[in-house]
Copies of this chain bind each other. A is one copy, B any other.
Amino acid sequence: MILTVTPNTALDITYRVQSLRPHASHRVTEVTERPGGKGLNVARVLAALGHEVTVTGFAGGATGHIVQQRLTAEPGVTDALVPIAGASRRTIAVVDERTGDTTQLNEPGPAIAPAEWSAFQEAYEDLVADASAVALCGSLPPGVPVNAYAGLVRTARAAGVPVLLDTSGEPLRRGVAARPDIIKPNADELAELTGSHEPLRATQDARRRGAHAVVASLGTEGLLAVTPEGRWRAAPPARVHGNPTGAGDSAVAGLLSGLVDHLPWPDRLARAVALSAATVLAPVAGEFDRGAYEELLGQVAVTTAATAA
């Protein structure tokens, strides 16, 4: 199985309102809820591709209970979230029906106690032993040490299990130094890590900091990969329009899926780009359009990238 780790699990709630006006009272016309946090989104896409996936991280309180109930109902996904005393966070996306724009309200998430973090590390070590690949995803909740991902990367590498890290800021900086197999920063995360806004230069620099392979997601331009086997750019056949929510998580799922299927890098990148574009095109945020995915898969252009000076 593939293991995804989401320390800051969430219940993602979407509200539709006619028009969002600060200081006014709004009747919500539609409410949807689903388990969220980057690793859970990655797991959902992997399961849809036919992989067995186990999700871990933390869950607590009434919100954690809903997250676990929903996860258990998804075929192919095994819930191994570690219980905590605090309540899991909610995120609320308020969609303005008039403009289509989204306003996001993110709860901070519960503080993780030292004993809970220890219990998680033990559970993680057991889970890694059975995993074909590991993805470490998203932000760290309060109470989890900032070098947490570095430790989790080392545990996976010691077990000989390939590990992908998808986070930002200081947790990314510390995690990279532990030499993960793949990191997948977006342009902003890459610039924050390296200080360079030039994608190829920054991607190469991120590799020098410790990552074996760096796959940078450059929005509508697709992916830029710098790996031990070579450098590639992978782009969708045409600019896709839609909701980019979850597109990065779908790219992570594509990379992991290709990795455990032992595909060469160009095919892994094609899978990641096609899934990412099919997620932007899907009517529901974070889902992917299977028909579009299958059609796009043969149309992704993967080209060799030059070396930055």
Contacts and interface: CB of A to CB of B under 8 A. Distances in A.
A25 B108 contact: no
Contacts of A26: 103-106
Contacts of A146: none
Interface residues of A, number: 29
Given A62-B65, A62-B66, A104 B28 contact: no
A262 interface: no
Contacts of A23: 96, 99, 101-103
A241 interface: no
Contact of A94 (B62, B66, B105): B105
What is the oligomeric copy number? Answer: 2
Interface in A1-36: 15, 17, 20-29, 31
Nearest to A29: B108
A17 B62 contact: no
Given A22-B96, A23-B101, A106 B28 contact: yes
Nearest to A62: B66
A15 B106 CA distance: 10
A177 to B, nearest CB: 27
A66 to B, nearest CB: 5
A92 interface: yes
A63 B63 CA distance: 9
